[in-house]
A and B are shown apart, each in its own frame.
Chain A
């Protein structure tokens, strides 16, 4: 199904033309409630935000503030109980599981806290896997995987399996996997949590470079000041709500 081009409706039906610059992903009043027995716990409440093309944003806040919940909703891994989620101009709040998989596969890249690579595949195969699931020809998958590995500085390590790579290299393979499908946005959940300071710094430099050179938007969730302080847009969450939306240190 083609995405609605160029414009998104705010407060209207899905896919209706509008005059604002298009956001890659836009949340309006997103709420996610978890049920724990009789108790209802709000993971996120009435979150409203828009991530523009080429943007670099961080969901910041302490543990339990709702960062990961919001990131999961933005990444179509979860469905909101209330509110609207628009992805590239299309209301995707209630689309089928299959369709959400397709959008994730084709338009979103993921980097997890730990790399989550397949241990029996080489670095190149792990990256190619993101294209295998799209049923693309093998030669094409391999060529693009090698290019993605080169882009994250892992040229020459294509044949190595994850257990023969350092923690930082593994996370770079994970970034290459997220990048290889040419997504509109890469969502990274605590990407530096398992890395030492130097490796984390290098990974963040890589994110910056990819954002700058390729125009791919990045959204992190993190409470790591190393990430928060250097990210131009900071969405500060507290108790499941977006408490403050800062751009370059100023409230948006």
Chain B
């Protein structure tokens, strides 16, 4: 039965085809804007998430419970004892791909008469290469040649500041957890270009065993970084690791990548804020455009509505007729918008447009808009709701007309 009203709504929309097309195009543009922006934002989130996990080298970070809430400098003093035993325990979990030990230190890189402060990380070269992007961002030289060589990888900013290049010999100095000064001569095996400039200016990697000797902390690690097969299991795995470790006598805390990713969270909040604001602006534009069209339509059809009411059409039927017109516009607009969004996404993803680096970053990325089905569902729901809201007032106005006055309308 309702099919006849949909048909009538479709024909009413065709009365002023140009006006309907203009209003429909606003719906289409709104839909495309929402889906494209969402695709871009989601892609950015995914890229940032991947970069965060790869920067950390895994999904869950295990550290001495006493280091929790301490500054990085204070945390230097808390080391995990028998990290191999703990790593073996964690590796039994089927969700785990690998467990990587890390040592962190503040030190100096010295070359000739230049010495520059560095944030040092001792890591397992093979595990690091698998879990993080350090190997992928080498710009000169080669990644670590062995697990225990006296080699370092420097960030390009640090290398420039200290005047070192791949193959040069530098001295790395730091204090051990006990407070003794120690130094190690190492060859610069590679220079990397880290995407965040502040980090790139201080970055130093060395094999875990060399770092152990430098810090006089053999058999100990500041953290264990666990790489999982599935990122979505991070929370559950972190809880399980902490419980298993405590049960086995290690006093540890387990933190997921997200808990330690302040930058990721800030960017996410910023983008969501922008997205919501844009959605609101779009919503208002669509509401105004559609409400204007519908109001004009009601005005032009006043006598006709009066006649319909006079012959006994229910007011609710009149209201429904206008709401159907709004809904139909939403459905057609979003369908056209979906097709246009697909086409435009394909064109833009193939265009090779390079975006500027993100805040604090050193590299831009190629523009890529991800297909995010939820955005299409959301945009459809948003447009439908918006058009219903926009049609509601004119529809209500039409339904409340006095048939006598409406029939006399000029």
Given contacts A72-B404, A77-B403, A116-B407, contact A130 B14 (CB under 8 A): no
Residues of chain B contacted by A116 (CB below 8 angstroms): 303-304, 306-307, 407
Return chain B residues, CB-CB under 8 Å to A130.
311-312
Contact B317 A133 (CB under 8 A): yes
**Known contacts A77-B404, A116-B304; is-contact A104 B310 (Cβ 8 Å):** yes
Given contacts A120-B8, A133-B312, A133-B314, 9 further A-B contacts (CB under 8 A): A77-B403, A98-B315, A108-B312, A110-B310, A116-B303, A120-B11, A121-B11, A133-B317, A178-B311
Q: How far is the CA of A109 from the CA of B15 in the complex (A)?
A: 27
The answer to whether A101 touches B15 (Cβ under 8 A) is: no
Cα–Cα, bound, A106→B303 (Å): 21
Mostly, the B contact residues are helix
Expressed in whole angstroms, the Cα–Cα distance for A77 and B403 within the complex equals: 7
Q: How many residues of A contact B (CB 8 A)?
A: 31
Report, nearest first, the 6 A-B pairs whose CB atoms are least far apart: A105-B312, A116-B307, A120-B11, A104-B312, A133-B313, A101-B312
Whether, in the assembled complex, A155 has its beta carbon less than 8 Å from a beta carbon of chain B, the answer is: no
Say yes or no: A110-B14 contact (C-beta < 8 A), given A118-B304, A121-B8: no
> Would B312 and A98 count as touching, CB distance under 8 A?
no
Interface centre among A98, A105, A116, A130 (most CB of B within 10 A): A116
A75 contacts B by Cβ under 8 Å: yes
B312 contacts A106, C-beta separation under 8 Å: yes
CB distance from B114 to the nearest CB of A (A): 83
Neighbouring B residues of A109 by C-beta, 8 Å: 311
Contact A78 B315, CB 8 Å, known A116-B304, A119-B15, A120-B11: no
Is A177 positioned at the interface, with any CB of B under 8 Å from its CB?
yes
In whole angstroms, what is the CA distance A211 to B310 when docked?
22
Known interface pairs A120-B11, A121-B11, A133-B317. Does A177 touch B311 (Cβ–Cβ under 8 Å)? Answer: yes
Chain B interface size band reads 20 to 34
Chain B 378-410 per-residue mask, 1 if CB under 8 angstroms from chain A, else 0: 000000000000000000000000011001000
B84 at the A interface (CB under 8 A): no
Residues of A within 8 A of B (CB): 72, 75, 77-78, 97-98, 101-106, 108-110, 112, 116, 118-121, 129-130, 132-135, 137-138, 177-178
Report if B12 contacts A (CB, 8 A): yes
Which residues in chain B, 128-145, are within 8 Å of chain A measured between CB atoms? none
Min CB distance A71 to B, Å, is: 10
Closest B residue to A115 using CB positions: B307
One of B1, B5, B307, B315 near A101 (C-beta < 8 A): B315
Q: B4 at the A/B interface (Cβ < 8 Å)?
A: yes
Chain A residue at minimal CB-CB distance from B10: A120
Write out, one digit per residue, whether chain B residues 155-171 have a CB within 8 A of any chain A CB (1) or not (0): 00000000000000000
B4 and A138 contacting across the interface, CB-CB below 8 Å: yes
Given contacts A72-B404, A133-B317, contact A101 B309 (CB under 8 A): yes
Contact sample, A vs B, 20 pairs, CB 8 Å cutoff: A72-B404, A75-B310, A77-B403, A77-B404, A78-B404, A98-B315, A101-B314, A104-B310, A105-B312, A110-B311, A112-B310, A112-B407, A116-B306, A116-B407, A120-B15, A121-B8, A133-B308, A133-B313, A133-B317, A137-B1
Contacts of B14 in A (CB 8 A): 120
Determine how close the nearest CB of chain A comes to the CB of B319; give it in whole angstroms.
13
Provide the bound-state CA to CA distance between A178 and B312, in Å: 11
Chain B residues near A133 (CB-CB < 8 A): 308, 311-314, 317
Residues of A near B11 (CB, < 8 A) are 120-121
- Residue in B306, B311, B315 whose CB lies within 8 Å of A105: B311
Contact pick for B12, options A72, A98, A120, A134, CB 8 Å: A120
A120 partner residues in chain B, CB cutoff 8 A: 8, 11-12, 14-15
How many angstroms from the CA of A140 to the CA of B307 in the assembled complex?
Answer: 23
Interface residues of B in 5-50 (CB under 8 A from A): 5, 8, 11-12, 14-15
Give the distance to chain B from A196, nearest Cβ to Cβ, in Å. 22
Which residue on chain B has the smallest CB distance to residue A69? Answer: B404
CA distance A132 to B311 in the complex (A): 11
- How many Å lie between the Cα of A108 and that of B309 in the bound state? 13
Measured CA separation A100–B54 after assembly (Å): 73
Q: Which residues on B sit within 8 Å (CB–CB) of A177?
A: 311
